[in-house]
Amino acid sequence: MAKQPRLRAIPLGGLGEIGRNMMALEYDENIVVIDAGLMFPEEEMLGVDLVLPDVTYLQERKEKVLGFLLTHGHEDHVGALPYILPKVSAPIYGSRLTLGFIKNRLKEHKLVEQVDLREIKA
């Protein structure tokens, strides 16, 4: 009997902390990433401007990543995208408002022309 693929939820940030929200859902040979947030440093993190999720897992499987699904436009859910997309490029899905926030952020990083933004209509 063939082995059935399993759905795996891989937290890449955001569990047990406020910020850095990022979860990879992997099924068979496909990965969908939910959110890509950053976290602002704690007071004791001197010299640190931003805390980003560890995307090594995604970099090692970047050909499997189908896209990023964004829940909303807050920095703790989308702020890491400009730092992640050069490493793991995939379409970005979100509402019109969320994609508007992202588009402005990507313009600041000169990435907007390199990214595939796809609106989800609710």
pLDDT at position 118 is 98
- Whether residue 105 contacts residue 84, with contact meaning beta carbons closer than 8 Å, is answered with no
Nearest-angstrom CA–CA distance, 109 and 46: 24
In a domain, 2, yes or no: no
17 near 39, Cβ under 8 Å? yes
pLDDT at 2 exceeding the cut of 80: no
Supply the range of the domain harboring residue 106: 7-119
1 falls within a domain? no
Question: Is a pLDDT exceeding 80 seen at residue 20?
Answer: yes
- Structural domain count of the chain: 1
| Tokens at 35, concatenated | 């959110």
Domain assignment present for residue 111? The answer is: yes
Taking the CA atoms of 113, 61, 49 and 118 in sequence, report the sign of the dihedral they define: positive
pLDDT-derived band of residue 21, with 50, 70 and 90 as boundaries? very high
CATH number of the CATH domain containing 61:
3.60.15.10
pLDDT digits (tens, 9 = 90+) for 47-67: 988 989 999 999 999 999 999
In the prediction, which pLDDT does 3 show? 84
What's the whole-number mean pLDDT along residues 30-44? 94
CA 101, distance to chain mean position in Å, is 14
**Confidence grade of residue 115 (pLDDT, cut at 50, 70, 90):** very high
Where in 16-90 does DSSP place strands (E)? Answer: 22-27, 30-34, 65-69
Domain membership flag for residue 33:
yes
Please give the pLDDT value at position 122: 74
Q: Are 111 and 86 within 8 A, CB to CB?
A: yes
Summarize pLDDT for 63-80 with one digit per residue, the tens.
999 999 999 999 999 999
The SS3 call for residue 100 is: helix
Q: Helices marked H in the chain — which ranges?
A: 56-59, 75-78, 81-84, 96-108
**Would you say 33 and 81 are in contact if contact means Cβ atoms under 8 Å apart?**
no
